[in-house]
Structure 1
């Protein structure tokens, strides 16, 4: 007999609405806190959005941030951010640092001459130092990237809303999009509260989270639509609980396997993609939570028209997209 891994029992009877007002209140509070954090604390924009130049250094000698800063103090660069990078995949003699330099007054980016002066100053401190990468972004480009990033997230959310609305009823679309907004806002809020670097890779992670979350939600909504026809007299709350329990094994298995893969990436993937992977890890957790406790709660609050007339209309095919497989 083949071995089958089960993370949850085949049949569960969990009441997901037992603490519905508490869980929904926690979600609302998290969204409000995230918005306030972004408004008053702000985001730690990376070079993509803030503009300036980032220089990555590597050396066989231990990074001395104080010595680096002292070497650059006479160049008149203003506030220079120097951060040592740690990664389990680095060799014992591989020491990495990231220098972030804001554009100089009167220039859109750090000039090649200034970059050459920075490299020469650091070489005087550590002759073994190398500069594997130098990235520069001007303020005009960074402002355009911010608006394009917002547009990308908005367009993704709008497209998902239209898709769910066409496949299901409008209440499902509202619940799904509310869950997506919840996931994105809370993830951005975490980056704001902990001042983690926010760049274009994080925007890519947010768009990936949208896709992951909507996939999980649509699976439950699709089963719910089937059960609406199967259990015509069952109260909507009980029907939603039954549906969520029926799909719980799939939800937990998907979240667990994704989480394990991302955990391996955050440990061994290197510092370059660590921010992206962290956003994805948090997105998997918050996306699973919103699927179980946000999307369907909103559908229950809005209610569904389960009259015989509505079912007959659906049977005649008045909703031409309703029976299209995803």
Structure 2
């Protein structure tokens, strides 16, 4: 029985033929993404905007009823709460965003925390109060700063690794592809005003890892072919390399999407932003590996003899001594 192949072995798609139009579209999308980020701003969650955190223990239960709590606390009118287990399975941390009118009003944040705890105690027996603390705007600002630095450090470290592993042109190409992926993800969240929290930072880091993995596979094949086909024009060589890795790229992306798309539509609401970011990242990461990372090598001066070892003066003298020059 013949195996089903989504991508035939003799695939010969002329990807580089449309590199200029696709680059123009991508640059426009990057500009629009940052326009939305600057003008609309990101809808920061409690992690990045500050709020009130309460911690309770359900002493009469083995596990905390997190789905019920999320629905119950959400009905209080403070937005979607962030509910996480801490310590034992029956201990939870609940964070809610403070309304604008509560900012700067003494005791307002604590009163909101007490309201949350009171709602829980009214619904469940044997609930122990473990804490009622305010997450200040200063702390939230530090979270935002550190999250941004983490993303920047990840991208620069990846570019440096590829620079050392391949050549500087490949490092620049990978960095631009990652910048493209992160920009479009931030732009989508700014445009639709989906909540931007630490979960989304984790999703963006996952996108960076996925896009990097795909880009390295393409770059490795490009480097091999540069050594193998010395006289082939670079655009044709890049097309060949992308087509040779296309089956792997398509299968990896489809495998991930098969798992993520049901989670996106039927999963819990608390995971929607995380899942949506990763699904978008798979599409833009695959696209950027083909249409961002590969074509930029032409404009950065990669040629068919880029990886041919250059003869030094010592090598020339040695060849002359052997009578070969």
TM over 0.5: yes
Shift of 1:135: 8.6
Q: Distance in 2 between matches of 1:108 and 1:38?
A: 33
The DSSP-based 3-state class of the residue aligned with 2:295 is helix
In the TM superposition, what are the counterparts of 1:128-277 in structure 2 within 5 Å? 137-277=135-275
Who is 2:318 aligned against? none
The question of whether the paired residues in 1 share the 8 Å contact of 2:230 and 2:305 is answered with no
Shift of 1:268: 4.7
In the TM superposition, what are the counterparts of 1:27-106 in structure 2 within 5 Å? 27-53=26-52, 58=68, 81-82=78-79, 100-102=97-99, 104-106=103-105
Q: Distance in 2 between matches of 1:108 and 1:181?
A: 43
The DSSP-based 3-state class of the residue aligned with 1:7 is coil
| CA gap 1:272/1:239 in 2 versus in 1, 3 angstroms | same
Q: Distance in 2 between matches of 1:42 and 1:165?
A: 33
| CA gap 1:136/1:84 in 2 versus in 1, 3 angstroms | closer
| CA gap 1:109/1:305 in 2 versus in 1, 3 angstroms | farther
Task: Give the paired residue count.
Answer: 285
Q: RMSD of the alignment, in Å?
A: 3.4
Q: Distance in 1 between matches of 2:133 and 2:296?
A: 45
Who is 1:312 aligned against? 309
| CA gap 1:108/1:12 in 2 versus in 1, 3 angstroms | farther
Who is 1:17 aligned against? 16
Q: Distance in 2 between matches of 1:138 and 1:115?
A: 14
Who is 1:278 aligned against? 276
| CA gap 1:47/1:251 in 2 versus in 1, 3 angstroms | same
Runs of 4+ aligned residues of structure 1 deviating over 6 Å after TM superposition are 54-57
Q: TM-score, normalised by structure 2?
A: 0.77
Q: Which runs of 5+ in 2 are unaligned?
A: 55-65, 83-94, 313-325
The question of whether the paired residues in 1 share the 8 Å contact of 2:45 and 2:97 is answered with no
The question of whether the paired residues in 2 share the 8 Å contact of 1:54 and 1:101 is answered with no
The question of whether the paired residues in 2 share the 8 Å contact of 1:52 and 1:137 is answered with yes
Shift of 1:171: 1.0
Shift of 1:183: 0.1
Q: Distance in 2 between matches of 1:314 and 1:276?
A: 52
Q: Distance in 2 between matches of 1:203 and 1:194?
A: 17
The question of whether the paired residues in 1 share the 8 Å contact of 2:173 and 2:294 is answered with yes
The DSSP-based 3-state class of the residue aligned with 2:15 is coil
Shift of 1:128: 5.0
Q: Distance in 2 between matches of 1:166 and 1:108?
A: 55
Shift of 1:219: 0.4
Q: Distance in 1 between matches of 2:209 and 2:108?
A: 35
Q: Distance in 2 between matches of 1:82 and 1:238?
A: 53
